[in-house]
């Protein structure tokens, strides 16, 4: 009987591993677009989509090489650049599966990304960005990758929001959304030709710029930043990247948010038939348990059949003719 239990446990472990193997890992999307195009990126192809699952370091390398950011971030100080501001917006709301959903809590953010991607002169999309092997945040991985590839030629005017986990003595720290507006306005007033300012903005909840107590959503903050860049008259390029590392840091909180979000949707049959990532993982585990139970029943049935076979203990001696 102990052997039967051991075989059953081994079967359940194998089925669970197979089920987890079929479930996709948590990935997040990234989008790159610019209001200019110098014709030097990937044979003048305007819209590029990379369907491979890549790490944040590979994302930074692709943005530098194929996205043309090496020309604006890695050039010398005396080279005149066509871009005034390079904005890196690190989000924390979207997963890769959210792009194809009909309804989402950040639907305005998804619509803004799609419109910006389609209406820009040059754009690239990375639907599947996985967690970095070093377990770093997205902004830290991007800045370190930019530094490794550019070396001493990286732009020296880098500003980041205080909610970003970025280290560096030469970097400018911005205290909020209003500081970003002031930074962009001061750069345009000074008209620093030949220099590109790199702004790293990490979404962490920001108060409304009107002074109210209402917390702005990620889509509203991002839309306000894009509007500020347009109104300032600056030429800009934008990289939006949702951080999968932040999506995995608080799984219990995300499960609670998902439960509350589903509770506010009512009893819409269209919403009840949709299965998201959590639902797929649970269904895979249930399938594994059912398969394990069926295999256990087959095993026990076979053992019972074998134990029920009653063979004779003695055979008659054959008589010689």
pLDDT, tens digit, 9 for 90 and up, residues 147-164: 888 888 888 788 888 888
Predicted pLDDT at 266 = 45
What number is the average pLDDT over the span 102-130?
A: 83
Predicted pLDDT at 58 = 93
Tell me how many domains the chain contains.
1
pLDDT of 237-247, one tens digit each? 999 999 877 76
3-class DSSP assignment, residue 202: strand
- Whole-angstrom distance, CA of residue 32 vs CA of residue 52: 16
* Mean pLDDT taken over the chain: 75
Residue 85 has pLDDT above 50, yes or no: yes
pTM: 0.66
- Give me the sign of the Cα torsion angle 214, 86, 151, 130: positive
Predicted pLDDT at 296 = 93
What number is the average pLDDT over the span 52-77?
A: 86
Residues in the chain: 321
- Whole-angstrom distance, CA of residue 321 vs CA of residue 319: 6
Is residue 309 a part of any domain in this protein? Answer: no
Query: Which is more confidently placed, 57 or 1?
Result: 57
Q: What residue numbers bound the domain in which 85 lies?
A: 26-206+215-265
Is residue 193 a part of any domain in this protein? Answer: yes
pLDDT band at 234 (very low <50, low <70, confident <90, very high): confident
Predicted pLDDT at 62 = 92
Is residue 19 a part of any domain in this protein? Answer: no
- Whole-angstrom distance, CA of residue 41 vs CA of residue 71: 10
Is residue 12 a part of any domain in this protein? Answer: no
Query: Which is more confidently placed, 279 or 194?
Result: 279
pLDDT of 194-217, one tens digit each? 678 889 999 874 444 444 456 788
Of 107-111, 217-221, 243-247, 264-268, the poorest mean pLDDT is in 264-268
Is residue 312 a part of any domain in this protein? Answer: no
Is residue 36 a part of any domain in this protein? Answer: yes
**Token pair for residue 72?**
């604006």
Residue 126 has pLDDT above 90, yes or no: yes
- Distance separating the N- and C-terminal Cα atoms of the chain: 48
What number is the average pLDDT over the span 69-96?
A: 80
CB 149 within 8 A of CB 69: no
Is residue 257 a part of any domain in this protein? Answer: yes
Of 10-24, 104-118, 215-229, 273-287, the poorest mean pLDDT is in 10-24
Phi, psi for 191 (deg, rounded to 5): 55, 60
What number is the average pLDDT over the span 268-288?
A: 70
Is residue 294 a part of any domain in this protein? Answer: no
Predicted pLDDT at 248 = 63
Residue 21 has pLDDT above 50, yes or no: no
pLDDT band at 289 (very low <50, low <70, confident <90, very high): very high
- Whole-angstrom distance, CA of residue 41 vs CA of residue 25: 31
């Amino acid at each position: 009987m102990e052997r039967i239990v051991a075989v059953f446990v081994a079967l359940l472990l194998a089925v669970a591993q197979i089920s987890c193997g079929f479930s996709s890992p948590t990935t997040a999307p990234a989008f790159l677009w610019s209001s200019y195009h110098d014709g030097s990126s990937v044979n003048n192809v305007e819209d590029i989509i990379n369907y491979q699952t890549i790490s944040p370091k590979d994302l930074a390398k692709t943005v530098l090489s194929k996205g043309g950011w090496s020309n604006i971030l890695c050039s010398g100080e005396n080279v005149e650049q066509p871009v005034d501001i390079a904005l890196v917006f690190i989000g924390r709301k979207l997963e890769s599966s959210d792009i194809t959903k009909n309804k989402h809590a950040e639907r305005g953010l998804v619509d803004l990304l799609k419109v910006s991607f389609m209406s820009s002169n040059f754009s690239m999309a990375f639907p599947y960005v996985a967690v970095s092997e070093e377990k770093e945040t997205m902004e830290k991985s991007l800045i370190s990758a930019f530094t490794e590839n550019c070396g001493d030629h990286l732009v020296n005017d880098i500003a980041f929001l205080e909610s970003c986990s970025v280290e560096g003595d030469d970097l400018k720290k911005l205290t909020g959304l209003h500081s970003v507006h002031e930074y962009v306005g001061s750069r345009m007033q000074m008209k620093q030709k030949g220099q590109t300012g790199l702004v790293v903005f990490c979404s962490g909840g920001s108060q409304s710029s009107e002074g109210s107590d209402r917390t702005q959503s990620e889509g509203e903050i991002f839309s306000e930043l894009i509007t500020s860049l347009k109104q300032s008259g600056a030429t800009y390029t934008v990289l939006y990247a949702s951080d999968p590392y932040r999506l995995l840091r608080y799984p219990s909180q995300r499960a609670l948010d998902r439960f509350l979000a589903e509770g506010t949707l009512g009893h819409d049959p269209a919403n009840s038939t949709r299965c998201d990532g959590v639902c797929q993982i649970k269904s895979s585990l249930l399938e594994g348990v059912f398969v394990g139970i069926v295999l256990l029943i087959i095993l026990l049935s076979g053992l019972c059949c074998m134990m029920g076979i009653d063979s004779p203990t003695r055979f008659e001696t054959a008589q010689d003719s």
